[in-house]
Chains A and B, each alone.
Chain A
Amino acid sequence: MDKKLEPIVKAVQEKFGATLEEFRDEAHLFVKPEQIVDVLTALHDEHNFELLSALTASDYWPQETPRFHVVYQLTSLAKNLSVQVRVPVNGNNPKVPTTTGVYAVSNWRERELLDMFGIEFEGHPDPRRILMPDDTEGHPLRKDFPLGYEEPQFSFNLEEIDLRKPYAKE
């Protein structure tokens, strides 16, 4: 971990009781879902983390609980530092408060997570799917969502498979 990052990490740990994990010089802070807005506000306002570089999630079904981790990757341009904040979220009805008030970029990123993982962001101004069509069932990046495939059509079974295909027909 970078020397300049140590006091910032220590401050967040003391204030919010966050746990720290380190891997290859990266600092990962674990906080509770209800604290995330306060943690990001503190990092943004007090410690100059101006840019939310990435907002993503990871699914640990079925091996681990809590099932999801929501990952906030923050960058400070002024100090040239990075820190990652991770929020473990329960798999049953996952909910995290929205951070659109701290970083405006969260808007689309949170819609992406709603779409791909079904994680609900409470208080989001525009909670719609962003990438998949509105009538999609399920959330594609969850581990229990099967990887789809397309049946190869040959001349002998072309029409048979065509009848099963889900596209809009004339």
Chain B
Amino acid sequence: MAQIEEVSIDQFKHLVSERAITGETMLLNMGPQHPSTHGVLRLLLELDGETVINCIPDIGYLHTGIEKNMEAKTYQKAEVMTDRLDYMNTMGNNLAYVMAVEKLVDVDVPVRAQALRVILVELQRIASHLVWLGAFGLDLAAMSVFLYCFRERELILDIFEMVSGQRMMTTYIRPGGLWRDVPVEFEKAVRDFLKIFPKRIDEYEALMTKNPIMMDRLLKIGILDGATALQYGVTGPTLRASGVDWDLRKSRPYMGYEQYDFNVPVRSEGDTFARYIVRIDELRESLKIIEQALNKLPMGPVRSENRKFVPPPRSELGTSMEALIHHFKLWTEGFPAPKASIYSAVESPRGELGVYLEGDGGPKPHRIHMRTPSFDNEILIDEPRKDPSEGS
């Protein structure tokens, strides 16, 4: 017999309404394995007839202790854990972590590496939004949108495989630059993508944007105003759909974002439709950034020359004694970081992805914390219970 835990209502007494205790409303468990929860999320619902009046999320089913694991690894080796944070934004997670390490140990990044990082991260943003759009369509029973989105996403994953050897777990962006330069076919593959993708966005919009079923389900649903969103720490497209113009790429440019000309889509309605439109517009803006970055992609090295933090190229190992020593020291011992803490953040497809990184003078992080946007965005599910009369 499997052990069945007896749960009494006392545990949730402070979370549900008075009527649940008398039995007037029903408490219903949803998940953690449920086709509509997308991932492992459990919700405890309080129902009054067919109306959800309270919703208590229970997260943590996919908690894998990544922060603890990273503390036990050197800075280079801990990077592979960042890929596993979120499979839809691997390049972006790499960039967030690597920028934090670079800030902590103070390494400069060559301009070519910066431009390539921008191209890859923007491609990743498109891929991430395509998964969102596909799954979003699927939830509204628009199956074909899902298939089209994953068709285009595959083109981006092919580019990632070309540069890093992996479709998803790339670990391509490294402290001090990139793993290696992109292959010669890279530019053509990205240009081909730039050529076909604008038409494909129009196709998605033709299928979805003015579709009456979509309008019914999105317009004036789930309205979130800007002040509330900030109170709950909501960032990214969700915040921008509530009328707050805040994009870290514009307000605190990193990796040379200031030299590219792009707009930050902002809508003031704050409903689900606004959040949909903001993301669709972001697809187009990302294309603009990629095109500009590719047009003025500078030549030069893609890794910093600072040998104390960045391993020497393979070709030098046979001829240079120093290069061999640096290579050996970096891969056996790692590089030391000062005993201090920094916080650095990037704009990921879902919002502010921040990394709090603290060194202790040795080659391993003392503490690393990932401020992941979805954790804060999800808290909104928890909160509507404050006003149960409104329903859902």
Q: Taking the complex as formed, is A158 at the interface, i.e. its CB lies under 8 A from any CB of chain B?
A: no
Q: Is the pair A147, B72 in contact by a Cβ cutoff of 8 Å?
A: yes
Interface residues in A75-125 (C-beta closer than 8 Å to B): 77, 80, 82, 84, 103-105, 107-109, 125
A3-11, A33-41, A46-54 - interface stretch: A46-54
Q: Taking the complex as formed, is A45 at the interface, i.e. its CB lies under 8 A from any CB of chain B?
A: no
Within 8 Å CB of B352, what residues of A?
53
> Residues 90-121 of chain B: 1 if any A CB is under 8 Å from the residue's CB, otherwise 0?
00000000000001101000000000000000
Q: How far is the CA of A168 from the CA of B5 in the complex (A)?
A: 11
> Residues 18-45 of chain A: 1 if any B CB is under 8 Å from the residue's CB, otherwise 0?
0000011010100000000000000000
Q: Is the pair A103, B63 in contact by a Cβ cutoff of 8 Å?
A: no
Q: Taking the complex as formed, is A151 at the interface, i.e. its CB lies under 8 A from any CB of chain B?
A: no
Q: Taking the complex as formed, is B184 at the interface, i.e. its CB lies under 8 A from any CB of chain A?
A: no
> Residues 116-138 of chain A: 1 if any B CB is under 8 Å from the residue's CB, otherwise 0?
00000000011001111100000
The number of chain B residues with a CB under 8 A from chain A is 45
Q: Is the pair A77, B60 in contact by a Cβ cutoff of 8 Å?
A: no
Q: How far is the CA of A147 from the CA of B73 in the complex (A)?
A: 11
Within 8 Å CB of A107, what residues of B?
379, 382-383
Whole-angstrom distance from the CB of B228 to the nearest CB of chain A? 8
Q: How far is the CA of A28 from the CA of B371 in the complex (A)?
A: 18
Within 8 Å CB of A52, what residues of B?
233
> Residues 1-39 of chain B: 1 if any A CB is under 8 Å from the residue's CB, otherwise 0?
111000000000011000000000000000000000000
Within 8 Å CB of B378, what residues of A?
108
Contact of B60 among A131, A141, A169 (CB under 8 A): A131
Within 8 Å CB of B345, what residues of A?
53
Chain B facing A: main interface SS:
mixed
> Residues 43-76 of chain B: 1 if any A CB is under 8 Å from the residue's CB, otherwise 0?
0000000000000000110010101110110000
Q: Is the pair B371, A53 in contact by a Cβ cutoff of 8 Å?
A: yes
Q: Is the pair A54, B68 in contact by a Cβ cutoff of 8 Å?
A: no
Q: Is the pair A168, B3 in contact by a Cβ cutoff of 8 Å?
A: yes
Whole-angstrom distance from the CB of A139 to the nearest CB of chain B? 11
Q: Is the pair A108, B375 in contact by a Cβ cutoff of 8 Å?
A: yes
Whole-angstrom distance from the CB of A53 to the nearest CB of chain B? 6
Within 8 Å CB of B60, what residues of A?
129-133
Q: How far is the CA of A26 from the CA of B230 in the complex (A)?
A: 22
Known: A52-B233, A56-B369, A108-B382. A23 touches B342 (CB 8 A): yes
Q: Is the pair B356, A168 in contact by a Cβ cutoff of 8 Å?
A: no
Contact of A131 among B2, B59, B366, B383 (CB under 8 A): B59
Q: How far is the CA of A89 from the CA of B35 in the complex (A)?
A: 43
Q: How far is the CA of A109 from the CA of B379 in the complex (A)?
A: 10
B244-252, B261-269, B307-315 - interface stretch: B244-252
Within 8 Å CB of A105, what residues of B?
231-233, 376, 379
Q: How far is the CA of A170 from the CA of B2 in the complex (A)?
A: 5
Contact of A54 among B251, B252, B343 (CB under 8 A): B343
Contact of B233 among A103, A130, A148 (CB under 8 A): A103
Contact of A108 among B106, B230, B376 (CB under 8 A): B376
Q: Taking the complex as formed, is B235 at the interface, i.e. its CB lies under 8 A from any CB of chain A?
A: yes
Q: Is the pair A58, B366 in contact by a Cβ cutoff of 8 Å?
A: yes
Whole-angstrom distance from the CB of B301 to the nearest CB of chain A? 24
* Nearest B-chain residue to A106, judged by Cβ: B233
Contact of A23 among B341, B369, B375, B382 (CB under 8 A): B341
Within 8 Å CB of B369, what residues of A?
54, 56
Q: Is the pair A77, B233 in contact by a Cβ cutoff of 8 Å?
A: no
Q: Is the pair A71, B67 in contact by a Cβ cutoff of 8 Å?
A: no
Taking A108-B375, A131-B60 as given, write out 4 further A-B residue pairs in contact, using a Cβ cutoff of 8 Å, ordered by the A residue number. Answer: A53-B233, A53-B352, A73-B356, A140-B65
Could you show 26 A-B contacts with beta carbons less than 8 Å apart? A23-B341, A26-B342, A53-B343, A53-B354, A54-B343, A54-B356, A54-B371, A58-B341, A58-B358, A58-B366, A71-B356, A73-B354, A77-B230, A77-B246, A104-B232, A105-B376, A107-B383, A109-B233, A125-B14, A126-B15, A131-B63, A132-B60, A133-B60, A140-B68, A147-B72, A170-B1
Sorted nearest first, the 6 A-B pairs with minimum C-beta distance are: A105-B233, A131-B60, A54-B371, A56-B369, A131-B63, A58-B367
